[in-house]
Amino acid sequence: MILTDTHSHLYDAKFAEDRQEMIARAFEEGVERIFIPNVDQHTVKGMMDEVAAHPGKCFPMMGLHPCHVKADFLEELQVLKAHLDSGDFSAVGEIGMDLYWDKTFVEEQKQAFRTQIHWAKEKGLPIAIHCRDAFAEVFEVLESEKDEKLRGIFHCFTGSLEQAQRAIDLNFYLGIGGVVTFKKAGLDKVVEQIDLKHLVLETDSPYLAPSPNRGKRNESAYLIHIAQKVADLHQVSLHEVAEVTTENSKKIFGL
Task: Round the average pLDDT of the chain to a whole number and report it.
Answer: 97
Question: What share of the chain in percent tops pLDDT 70?
Answer: 100
Domain 3-253, CATH class in plain words: alpha beta
Q: What is the pLDDT of residues 128-178, one digit of tens each?
A: 999 999 999 999 999 999 999 999 999 999 999 999 999 999 999 999 999
Mean pLDDT throughout 39-51? 98
Mean pLDDT throughout 40-45? 98
Beta bridge partners of 59: 35
Q: What is the CA radius of gyration of the chain?
A: 17
pLDDT band, very low/low/confident/very high, at 101 (cuts 50, 70, 90): confident
Give the integer Cα–Cα distance in Å for 105 and 94: 17
Q: Are 66 and 98 in contact (CB under 8 A)?
A: yes
Q: What is the pLDDT of residues 64-77, one digit of tens each?
A: 999 999 999 999 99
Mean pLDDT throughout 243-248? 98
pTM attached to this predicted model: 0.98
Give the integer Cα–Cα distance in Å for 115 and 111: 6
Give the integer Cα–Cα distance in Å for 152 and 39: 17
Outline where DSSP puts E strands in the chain: 3-5, 31-36, 58-62, 91-98, 127-132, 152-154, 172-176, 199-201
For residue 219, pLDDT beyond 90: yes
pLDDT of residue 145: 98
pLDDT of residue 102: 86
Give the integer Cα–Cα distance in Å for 58 and 88: 12
Which segment of 2-11, 100-109, 145-154 scores lowest on mean pLDDT? Answer: 100-109
Mean pLDDT throughout 186-213? 98
